[in-house]
Amino acid sequence: MSRFFRGCTIIWVVLRYGLDELVLSSFQHPWLHRLRRVLTIGRKLDAPRGQRLREALEQLGPIFVKFGQVLSTRSDLMPPDVAEELAKLQDRVPPFDSQIAVDTIERNFRKPLDEIFVQFERTPVASASIAQVHFAVTRDKQGVEREVAVKVLRPGMKTVIDKDLALMHMMAGWVEKLSADGKRLKPRQVVAEFDNYLHDELDLVREASNAAQLRRNMEGLDLVLIPEVFWDYCHAEVMVMERMHGVPISQTERLREAGVDIPQLARDGVTLFFTQVFRDGFFHADMHPGNIMVSLAPATFGRYISLDFGIVGTLTEFDKEYLAQNFLAFFRRDYKRVAALHIESGWVPASTRVEELEAAIRAVCEPYFDRPLAEISLGMVLMRLFQTSRRFQVEIQPQLVLLQKTLLNIEGLGRQLDPNLDLWSTAKPFLEKWMLEQMGPQRFWRELQAEAPRYAKLIPELPRLVHAALQRQQAADPELVQELLREQRRTNRLLQGLVYGGLGFVLGMLAMQVLTRIRLF
């Protein structure tokens, strides 16, 4: 029943803000235009279309807001006026009452606000779909004051998200049963992955641990700054971290006036993304402009500042190596290798002909190489890729959905910073170096070092373990053990013969050399 009422609410919001009119107006068929005029009778839809879409997404809740955030980074897919309006969803969602934030903080700390912070700004500096942020000042035991950012969870988020996810699970089940592509698209598994990430985002202690892990991973890279987390001030609904000073990355003109190399900033963003994905297998998965600033401080000038770590992605070693091989083959235009990898992984049926899949991939990708982002129509690429995947029954990989969403964010961000960015040539050297480290002697040496303590403990125990195993085997099957012993004796005699024969050969050669020298003398 709750899913029914939530569905009714969504339909009511769609009609109230005229989203049906926005969809119908994008088609050119005359009868659809006539249908649009009929449906809008009696409804006042004077507000600009971007504003109506933004307000509708805000009213529908956090899941819809996140969808709008992704769309806001894709000015190549959305009309400029709509993309500009949706950008307000990144950090300018209407805030909740500051007194509620104060009550939440005091409830979690079990102390009055004045005993927690030296100073607390009640007006939030940023407000998003899940939480809002206030600036404050803390004082440690030594009396040192620190500027901090206090993130407070929105009240009632779990209830709203659970209702939307229940509806999504139901619709995914329908798609899987009724659609011819249901099995291939795996809608229920995709929604389950989305479910996990959203619920993780509701626990700010988990977000704090994500920030701490990313901060450790990024040490020494000199490309990004991650705020320090103050664990004594972190709870499930409240997170306190270092206040970061920088300029929002969306303010490109201000950054350019300050002397920031914008094209280099775009290239650094690509390097940062691929480093987190392939080197660490742990990446920031919510990289829209509202979560990114750029430092103008002299010591860290031009570096990224990452914020909001509620959603992070992880990859297994298998996923990392498989994706890296795909990307590298793609950048080298080795489409046959890309096709073979898809078949080897089971993403497409084993009966698929490599040559046919190779030709299809080449037809999609080749027209877009050596072009800057400004000349690439992502909408056309996505449409052709979807057609190809359907033709060859390519299965969706739910564990990679978050990575694909982040890649869309990164490409959209790169497009905003530098439309002339060559995504392929920027990523290719990094992947080639990474693959060399993974497949070469460096990896062997790293794994040997990692396993050395276990080997050091195991090797002295091997004779005892072998003896015990043989005793157990003898008790279970005496004849097999006797046969193994006889085979071992034969092997020992053969080895002795080889050793003695080799020794005799060496001694014979030495004797011949000695005799030759004597004769010459």
Give the pair of three-digit tokens for residue 462: 């091997």
Among residues 286, 319, 418, 422, the one annotated as catalytic is: 286
Return the half-sphere exposure (C-beta side, CA atoms, 13 A cut-off) of residue 17: 20
156: its two tokens: 């009632």
Nearest to 321 by CA among 435, 398, 429, 423: 435
Cα dist from 363 to 176, 358, 368, 383, whole Å: 30, 9, 10, 13
For residue 179, the one-letter residue type is S
Cα gap 281→225, rounded to integer Å = 18
The pair of three-digit structure tokens given for residue 74, joined into one six-digit string: 């894709």
Residues 6+ apart with CB under 8 A from 85: 48, 50, 51, 53, 54
Which residues make beta-bridge pairs with 150?
A: 134, 240
Integer Cα distance of 466 and 236 in angstroms: 51
Residue 450 structure tokens:
């990692």
Backbone angles phi, psi at 494, to 5 degrees: -65, -45
Contacts of 302 (CB under 8 A, 6+ apart): 260, 261, 264, 265, 294, 295
- Sorted by sequence, the CB contacts under 8 Å of residue 165 that are 6+ apart come out as 63, 191, 194, 195, 198
Among candidate residues 39, 40, 58, the one with its CA nearest the CA of residue 50: 58
DSSP sequence for 244-277: ---EETT-HHHHHHTT--HHHHHHHHHHHHHIII
Of 218, 435, 438, 440, nearest to 327 by C-alpha is 435
CA angle in degrees (0–180, nearest 5) for 478-482-483: 115
Cα separation, 327 vs 127, whole angstroms: 36
Whole-angstrom distance, CA of residue 304 vs CA of residue 261 = 12
Q: How far apart are CA 269 and CA 410, in angstroms?
A: 8
Largest CA distance in the chain: 122
Is residue 286 flagged as an active site residue? Answer: yes
The neighbour count for residue 388, using CB atoms within 10 Å, is 16
CA–CA gap between residue 411 and residue 76 (Å, rounded): 10
**Residue pointed to by tokens 């002339």:** 420
- 229 in helix, strand or coil? strand
- Do 139 and 145 contact (CB within 8 A), yes or no? yes
One-character DSSP codes across 342-384 = HHHHTSS-TTS-HHHHHHHHHHHHGGGTT--GGG--HHHHHHH
Q: Catalytic residue positions?
A: 286
